[in-house]
């Protein structure tokens, strides 16, 4: 695993603008790994380094929510790139996707795990309200845990990722993961399990299992 994944240097930050996400999720996935998900609250900042994502596509992907076409629930996936698609599942959990591919084409990356970087105590408070013991490595390990730790819920569906407009955005620092990215089948699905569309940082203990 690359060094320095648990830290970042603010002066190296390069903000990702919405048009950066206008590409196929399979192409975007390895580029997003290692980048920082940042939410600026009024009095503090939450930063998490993404280490695991899954690509979901449109009508060619049986496991995608968009497989059968646009519905009220999944329409964010068909919207402009650089927005969030947040959905509610199992009666209690939210999961967050980064919408990609050109507008009108369904494509998204499910964020499955991240390393807490800044605002860890705020993340811990949100998560620990429900769980007894909690290791740092479990704070954001899993798609619903990621949302819980960062306070992402259905109100953030279709939110545009923009430092100026919404204070929620992605950024890259100097971390590079060349040669440290693996892929595998996606987790928790029953269809299209032959695609290796889960991407994660090799040997990273913050990745889900």
The residue ranges that bind DNA (CB under 7 A) are 54, 56, 63-66, 68, 71-74, 77, 85, 88-93, 95, 97, 108, 110, 127, 130-132, 138, 142-146, 186-190, 208
- Least CB distance to DNA at residue 102 (A): 17
Number of H helices, E strands in the chain: 4, 9
Sequence-ordered list of residues with C-beta below 8 angstroms from that of 127, at least 6 positions apart, any chain? 134, 139, 145, 148, 149
Closer to DNA by CB, 4 or 68: give it: 68
- Least CB distance to DNA at residue 198 (A): 10
Closer to DNA by CB, 122 or 175: give it: 122
Element (H, E) at 150: helix 143-150
- Phi, psi (5° rounding) for residue 92? -155, -10
Closer to DNA by CB, 114 or 177: give it: 114
Closer to DNA by CB, 47 or 123: give it: 123
- Least CB distance to DNA at residue 206 (A): 12
- Least CB distance to DNA at residue 121 (A): 17
DSSP state of 185: P
In order, the DSSP letters of 50-88 are EEEEEEE-STT-TTSTTTT---TTTHHHHS-TTBEEEEE
In whole angstroms, give the CA distance from residue 125 to residue 112.
20
- Least CB distance to DNA at residue 165 (A): 23
- Residue 134 in contact with residue 117, Cβ under 8 Å? no
Q: Which of 44, 59, 45, 54 is nearest to 13 (CA)?
A: 45
Closer to DNA by CB, 60 or 131: give it: 131
- Least CB distance to DNA at residue 166 (A): 20
Closer to DNA by CB, 47 or 110: give it: 110
- Residue 151 in contact with residue 145, Cβ under 8 Å? no
């Amino acid at each position: 695993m690359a060094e320095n994944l648990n830290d970042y240097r603010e002066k190296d930050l390069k903000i990702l603008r919405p048009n950066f996400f206008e590409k196929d999720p399979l192409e975007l996935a390895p580029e997003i790994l290692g980048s920082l998900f940042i939410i600026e609250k009024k009095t503090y900042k939450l930063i998490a380094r993404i280490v695991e994502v899954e690509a979901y596509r449109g009508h060619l992907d049986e496991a995608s929510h968009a497989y059968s076409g646009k519905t009220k629930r999944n329409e964010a996936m068909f919207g402009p790139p650089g927005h969030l698609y947040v959905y509610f599942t199992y009666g209690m959990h939210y999961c967050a996707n980064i919408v990609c591919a050109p507008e009108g084409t369904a494509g998204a990356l499910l964020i499955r795990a991240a390393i807490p970087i800044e605002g860890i105590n705020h993340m811990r408070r949100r998560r620990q309200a429900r769980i007894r013991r909690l290791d740092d490595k479990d704070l954001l390990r899993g798609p619903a845990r990621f949302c819980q730790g960062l306070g992402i819920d259905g109100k953030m569906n279709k939110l545009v990722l923009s430092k100026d407009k919404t204070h929620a955005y992605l950024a890259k620092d100097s971390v590079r993961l060349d040669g440290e990215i693996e892929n595998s089948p996606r987790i928790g699905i029953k269809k299209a399990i032959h695609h290796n569309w889960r991407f994660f940082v090799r040997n990273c203990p913050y990745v889900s299992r």
